[in-house]
Amino acid sequence: MIREILEYPDARLREVAKPVSEVTAEIQALVDDMAETMYAAPGCGLAATQLGIPQRIFVVDCAGEDEPSQLLVFINPEFIEKDGVQSWEEGCLSFPGVTEEIKRAERVKVKALDRNGKSFEVEADGLLAVALQHENDHLDGVLMIDKLSALKKRMMGRKLAKAKQDEARE
């Protein structure tokens, strides 16, 4: 089922997610809805907090358009390692029509549970490393606008307002 994605400045985006105590059929159904919602948006990542659900869950799929799906599910993710620095032009489903260059770690190692509650680790760089950090920030109530200077925050606010006006005209 496709769910509504919260948009900035919705206060629920600032809520810190709580750990999932047990991977149940209800959690698996939520994961399936999250994936369906992310693909429909379309985006390459979605956190449960973006749906107003304060649980430590996110999904990512950074496969290119001509590549098979590579859906990854992260329940109770923990970053074990972060290394290096990279800048990436990021977008966010909660900030429709806006992108900003954000600095993040270049390489990461993350431990989490999959949709079946099985523990796994993944090492990532490039877009996947960016997506993992971006979605994990959502679980901590941190948004991409928080990573910007005061000037860039004001500019992003104007871009958001313009994107909303353009959407209203369509």
Which amino acids are annotated catalytic? 135
4-14 core/surface letters (b: 16 or more CB in 10 A; e: else)? ebbebeeeebe
Residue 36 and residue 2 in contact, taking contact as beta carbons nearer than 8 Å: yes
- CA pseudo-torsion sign 90, 81, 14, 146: negative
How far apart are alpha carbons 12 and 17 in whole angstroms? 10
Helices (H) and strands (E) in the chain, counts: 3, 7
CA–CA dist 164, 90 (Å, integer): 18
